[in-house]
Amino acid sequence: MRIERDSMGELQVPDDALYGASTQRAVENFPISELRFGRRFIWALGLLKREAASVNKGLGVVTPEQGDAIIAAADEVMAGSHDSQFVLDIFQTGSGTSTNTNANEVIANRASQIMGGDLGDRLVHPNDHVNQGQSSNDVIPSAIHIAAVAAIRQDLLPALGALSTSLSVKAEEFDGIVKSGRTHLMDATPVTLGQEFSGYAAQISKGKERVESALPALEELALGGSAVGTGLNARPEFAPSVIAGIAKATGYPFREADNHFEAQAAKDAVVFASGALKTVAQAMFKIVNDLRWLSSGPRTGIAEIRLPSLQPGSSIMPGKVNPVIPEMTMQVAAHVIGNDTAITWGGANGNFELNVMMPMMAHNLLESIGLLSAASNTLRERCIDGIEADEDRNTELVERSIIIITSLAPKIGYDAAARIAKEAFASDRGVREVAAELTDLTEEELDAALDIEAMTRGGIIG
């Protein structure tokens, strides 16, 4: 152990730790869970500290040697070289001050080493140099936004786009397969399997658009507000210059918040983005639950489609194969929906000039983005791309449906059509056979009115 110090005094920290006393205090104060900030958030903190050091060097707030050392240390943080030094629990001080301090201490100590000093000698000071012009209250919300935008743009949007495309390909492949529609889980008028899959593709595509609509608000950064939104102790040119550097480094259109009091007191942009993720999650749940029903069987269920067989489905029932990828996706969706509930409640708990639920909100938002990205890719690769249709089974079921009588209703009236449907069901016969008995329509007229493929195109049949 070595002795480090902060504003509260001296404290022992491990000899090889890059962090200092304030981080160690938080380690001892918050032994709550196994949850830690992930790679994307640590990268965002490193990027912000690097660009801040570059601007502060140019402003003469830090010496050129200090600025270069901070930049080099922050680059290492961005690259993941010091992830093991970010040791704090997600459940900590609600502003994320402990994690900002963790970053400041790691970068300061590493920068001191780069300058030829030893750990703890403060050739670079965590507050006076690394955190110059900043507060945890504008750093942490900015890092949340930077990390979320990068994760959405790099991971989630491509994954959703590819999933939508895969579903569209299946919609085209299945376009000619007529099947029974279903509403309330009961037989309904015919559709094509392609039409059904086109609905799935559109759901994901529209979900992608909803996520994209959250980006402009996330691209506003709170940096420049310092402690309470007034910008105290931050030079007017500091935040705009840092944010311009972040935008250039990432290629994303980050900009300073329109109103720093909103940006720090509220987390509405995060809540809105999480709501878009929840919408995608429930869409994916709906789609894969349909796939489970449509593939149920293989002999005693609907069995209109076949999902790829990936693994044994039972430790006791030989030959059983389960829809494991849809089941995984449903669990991911449930988790994302739970994350959104916590984020929503977290957003509601901004008090006066600061929200104090930010670490949890950051973790949940980034976890949801990561889960949906991975689940979308796995669903596409391990399930959607390999789906096959059983055309004979689809034809068999739609022909047995009594609801195809619907297209006769304009010709013979609702009540007469209902009588035919009830008789067909009671006698376990087809609608065509019963309609021939109970109406004066010719065989040609019945064939025209009960053209199942034509029913999928809408309008008045026959």
Instruction: Quote the CA–CA distance of 160 and 285 in Å, as a whole number.
Output: 14
What element of type H or E holds 416?
helix 414-427
Instruction: Quote the CA–CA distance of 99 and 287 in Å, as a whole number.
Output: 39
Largest CA distance in the chain: 101
Query: Residues 109, 76: contact at Cβ < 8 Å?
Result: no
Select which of 184, 198, 213, 296 is catalytic. 184
Select which of 142, 314, 335, 407 is catalytic. 314
User: What is the DSSP secondary-structure string of 297-339?
Assistant: -SSSS--SEEPPP-S---SSSTT----HHHHHHHHHHHHHHHH
Nearest to 424 by CA among 415, 416, 413, 435: 435
Catalytic status, residue 226: no
Instruction: Quote the CA–CA distance of 361 and 371 in Å, as a whole number.
Output: 15
Nearest to 205 by CA among 155, 163, 156: 163
Nearest to 126 by CA among 264, 262, 7, 267: 7
Tokens, residue 430:
């087809």
- Cα radius of gyration (the chain): 30
Tokens, residue 292:
């489970």
Active site residues: 184, 314
